[in-house]
């Protein structure tokens, strides 16, 4: 989720257990963290509304029944511009949120994510770039 067009954080929503984990590599003041929780509640309410629409009145979802937590074990970024990299890593390891993230962001992670985004077939502008990656696909594949 984007906060104030300045920062990204990830909300992992477990609908079954009604838990929301707000994974933030740069947590802020209590007021800002509460705002991030409120944004997550808006997303959960939309999901619950969609489930009610899809399953009819038999679905009894209430966002007030969700438990919102900011796991203390989320790795923290060491600078002001790595939040996107951390979000990508949190998504890769989202199953670890309950037991504790055991991840580190390295220069190789940054490079791999950049290559993944650049080379993705959904990248509509990759044909505009001049590149010659002969042999590199084996290094990052």
Q: What pLDDT sits at residue 58?
A: 64
Measured distance CA(36)–CA(28) in Å, rounded:
10
C-alpha radius of gyration, the chain, whole number: 18
Top-confidence residue, 58 or 20: 20
Report if residue 120 sits inside a domain.
no
Predicted confidence (pLDDT) per residue in 10-26, tens digit:
999 988 888 999 999 98
Please give the share of the chain, as a percent, with pLDDT higher than 70: 86
- The CATH code of the domain that includes 31 is 3.40.395.10
pLDDT the model gives residue 22? 92
pLDDT band at 138 (very low <50, low <70, confident <90, very high): low
- Asked if residue 10 is part of any domain, the answer here is yes
Mean pLDDT of all residues in 87-97: 86
Residue 20: C-alpha distances to residues 30, 47, 94, 120 (Å) = 17, 12, 12, 30
> At 132, is the pLDDT very low, low, confident or very high (cuts 50, 70, 90)?
low
Q: In this structure, what token pair is assigned to residue 56?
A: 């009819």
Question: What integer is the mean pLDDT of 95-102?
Answer: 79
- Domain assignment present for 85: yes
- Whether residue 17 contacts residue 61, with contact meaning beta carbons closer than 8 Å, is answered with no
pTM of structure: 0.75
pLDDT digit string (tens) for 39-49? 999 998 888 88
pLDDT at 9: 93
CA distances from 61 to 37, 69, 78, 128, 131 (A): 18, 19, 38, 47, 50
Domain that holds residue 65: 2-105
The total number of structural domains in the chain stands at 1
Kindly state whether residue 123 falls inside one of the protein's structural domains. no
């Amino acid at each position: 989720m984007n906060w104030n067009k300045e920062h990204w954080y990830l909300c992992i929503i477990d609908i079954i257990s009604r838990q929301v984990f707000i994974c933030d590599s740069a947590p802020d003041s209590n007021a800002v963290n509460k705002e991030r929780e409120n944004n997550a509640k808006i997303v959960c309410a939309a999901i619950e509304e969609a489930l009610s629409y899809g399953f009819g009145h038999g679905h009894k979802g209430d966002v007030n029944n969700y438990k919102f937590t900011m796991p203390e074990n989320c790795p923290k970024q060491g600078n002001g511009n790595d939040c996107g990299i951390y979000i990508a890593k949190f998504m890769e390891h989202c199953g670890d949120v309950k037991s504790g993230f055991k991840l580190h962001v390295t220069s190789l992670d940054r490079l791999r994510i950049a290559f993944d985004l650049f080379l993705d077939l959904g990248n509509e502008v990759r044909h505009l770039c001049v590149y010659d990656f002969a042999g590199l696909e084996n290094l990052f594949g």
